[in-house]
Amino acid sequence: MSDTTAFAIRNEMVGSQTGKGFYIRFGNGYEISVQFGQVNGCDGGKTTAEVAVFDPEGQFVKLGENDDVLYNVTPERVAELIFEYSMKETKTQVFLDLVNDDIEPDTAAEIAGLEKEDA
């Protein structure tokens, strides 16, 4: 497999990136990238890694106040992020749950944060 750019949604659910990291795409569409190469924002994989998360549309998820990427992330924090984003509901899932609970579609779209055209 070739080294793929992190800005595209991948077809594989799990993959490695030339021996310096890996990514996991969850069933909800979120993807986490964990990198530990010498050029990444970490200690080369000795005790930390660099982490980014992408939403179901392939856009960066803000992980810090001003950051799309977290640097020098401990293994424990990587595990927390994997759990958090593997369980995260998408806006569409929230919308459908609300509609199934007899909330009007326009109100459900507003609560879920969807544009009217998306609902």
Tell me, yes or no, whether 52 and 109 share the same domain: no
- Rounded percentage of the chain residues whose pLDDT exceeds 90: 44
Tell me, yes or no, whether 33 and 3 share the same domain: yes
Own/partner long-range contacts of 5-10 (Cβ < 8 Å, ≥24 apart): 6/33, 6/52, 6/54, 7/58, 8/58, 9/54, 9/56, 9/57, 9/58
pLDDT tens track for 11-54:
555 556 677 999 999 988 899 999 999 989 999 999 999 999 99
Q: What is the mean pLDDT of the chain?
A: 81
Tell me, yes or no, whether 60 and 82 share the same domain: yes
Which stretch of DSSP H or E encloses residue 35?
strand 31-35
Tell me, yes or no, whether 112 and 84 share the same domain: no
- Domain of residue 32, residue span: 1-88
* Confidence bin at 7 (pLDDT 50/70/90): very low
Tell me, yes or no, whether 111 and 79 share the same domain: no
Tell me, yes or no, whether 22 and 41 share the same domain: yes
Query: How many domains does the structure of the chain reveal?
Result: 2
Tell me, yes or no, whether 27 and 56 share the same domain: yes
- Average pLDDT estimate for 102-111: 79
pTM: 0.69
Q: Answer for the pair 54, 61: CB distance below 8 angstroms, yes or no.
A: yes
Tell me, yes or no, whether 73 and 16 share the same domain: yes
pLDDT at 3: 42
